[in-house]
Structure 1
Amino acid sequence: MSETVTDDTVPTVTGTLARAGGTRRLELRLPADAADDFPPGEVVRVVVDGSQNHSQLQRNGDGQPVIRGAYATPSLARDPGGATDAFAAWVDDRDLEVGRSVHVDVVAAGFQYGIRAPGESATYEAHEPPSSSLADIANSLEEP
């Protein structure tokens, strides 16, 4: 069962929009002291502009946690290829530029996050992470 939470009832970290390495791809760099809330390699739910998406949490070359895109399914988050990136579209819609701050609401660390621009508020449908045994079964089904 899920409950509704607002951005003022969950922890929030402030990240910075940046370019991923020498590419034109955007990434959201999160503070190093928040690394425990963003475990690398995990595919998580990311709410962007009210829509649920998925992202695979990563680290940049400095070990800083980053979010690089938000995609329709967990498999697209793992291998986005030419998939539509809801995060990039959200940045474009708001005319945000590299170097700008972006808020990340930690709805459930390691499982669900919300992304919003400073000054915006958000309401999320908070979902319970699956039990570890269910997650293990799901992961085993996805392996080739």
Structure 2
Amino acid sequence: MENQNVIESANTLNVVINKVLYTGKVHVSGGREGFAKSSDGVLDTALSSPGSTGKGTNPEQLFAAGWAACFIGAMKHNAPQLKIALPVDAAIDAEVDLALADSGFNLQARLNVVLPGLTYEEAKTVVEAAHQTCPYSKATRGNINVQINVAI
């Protein structure tokens, strides 16, 4: 692309990145009624607005899937250090709302974490640790309403 100018390049959290582990690259055209394709071609999907009859997924579903997958990864990362055996059938039902507030459009989310076989204290411990280390949790902390529910 020609004539690229940086509009924003702020390190507002003063986080120093030591090493980039992965960069997800996705080209989107057409917005909510468009298409999304990753640079490796694995993601190649139509997009549609929430509640529409379009045949594609929507950004809220993609965000929910990404956050849930990342959060489970964070639980898997933290569980051994906490000496908690994470159940193989650990799951998350993630819900991301597109909402309207006084300030305009906003998101809010609920992560319904299911950890069968753990005690409530074990589940709470691993979920709290994951919420501190999951990059999606870090990105949303203080920015959107988040509710985390735990079922055992």
TM-score (ref. length: structure 1): 0.23
Larger Rg, first or second structure (1 or 2): 2
TM-score (ref. length: structure 2): 0.22
Larger helix fraction of residues: 2
Larger strand fraction of residues: 1
Higher relative contact order (CA 8 A, sep 6+): 1
